[in-house]
Structures are given as C-alpha cells and as structure tokens.
Amino acid sequence: MSLDKATVQKIAYLARIEVREDELEPLAKELSGILHWVEQLAEVDTDGVPPMTSVSAEMALPMRADVVTDGGYAELVLQNGPETTNGFFLVPKVVE
C-alpha cells in the first residue's frame, strides 16, 4: 500500500501529531517504504492459524479480589501536571 499525502495527514490526526505541510510528502514516501516491506507477510499462508494474543498463554492469569488496594494520592498524581488547579488538571476550554 502506498500512502498519499492525504492519508498521512489523516493518520497523523488520528495519532494527534501535527505534521508540517512540507513534511507530508517525504513522510508518505518513508512510511510507504516500510509498509511495502512488511507486506511480504502476505506470501505466507496463515489460513487456520490462530493469532497469538498472549505471550503467557500457557500461564494461568492470577486472580485477585476486586477491591481497592491503593489510592488517595491526588497531590502526587497532580505534581507532574504542566497546569493544575484545585486538585484538577487544566486543559484548554472544551465546552463553549
């Protein structure tokens, strides 16, 4: 699959990364190169092969009681926030 500028723009928006107009074309070429390369997987017949969804498939996941075990650190949680006020993170206005 070759990506065009519009597709790169769309993916970049999905990933919420601003890309300058003059970077779109070279980026489209770069990403297309990687996609072409990974498309070699198409030559492998994977019909009936289950997807590997867990590395620890052979290990039974441990169970625990569904109870609160930790918390109550609002101040610590907020201390790295670039902008905070009164126990909240501050973001640009989202509701008009």
Partner 1 sequence: MSDLTHLTIADAEKGLDRGDFTSVELTKAHLAAMAKHKDLNAYITETPDQALAMAEQSDKRRAGKQAGLLEGIPLAIKDLFCTEGVQTTAGSHILEGFKPPYESTVTANLWKQGAVMLGKVNLDEFAMGSSNMTSYYGAVKNPWKRSGDAKDLVPGGSSGGSAAAVSACIAMGATGTDTGGSIRQPAAFCGIVGIKPTYGRCSRFGIVAFASSLDQAGPMTRTVKDAAIMLKAMAGHDPKDSTSTPGPTPDFTKAVGQSIKGLRVGVPKEYKPDGLSSEIMAAWDKGLAWLKEAGAEVVEVSLPHTKYALATYYIVAPAEASSNLARYDGVRFGLRVPGNSLDEMYMKTRAEGFGREVRRRILIGTYVLSAGYYDAYYAKAQKLRTLIAGDFKQAFQKADVLLTPTAPTPAFAIGENLDDPITMYLNDVFTIPTSLAGLPGLSLPAGLSSDGLPLGLQLIGRPFDEEAVFKAAAVMEQAAMFKRWEAC
In the complex, least distance from residue 75 CB atom to partner 1, rounded to whole angstroms: 9
**Positions that interact with partner 1 (CB under 8 A):** 1, 3, 7-8, 11-19, 27, 30-31, 33-35, 37-42, 44, 46, 49-56, 58-59, 61-62, 64, 73, 76-77, 79-83, 89, 91-94
DSSP 63-82: P---S--S---HHHHHTT-S
In the complex, least distance from residue 22 CB atom to partner 1, rounded to whole angstroms: 13
Rounded CA separation 69/49 (Å): 40
Specify the DSSP class assigned to residue 9.
Answer: H
In the complex, least distance from residue 74 CB atom to partner 1, rounded to whole angstroms: 11
Residue 31's CB is within 10 A of a number of other CB atoms, namely 16
In the complex, least distance from residue 6 CB atom to partner 1, rounded to whole angstroms: 13
Tokens of 90: 């501050």
User: Diameter of the chain by CA atoms?
Assistant: 58
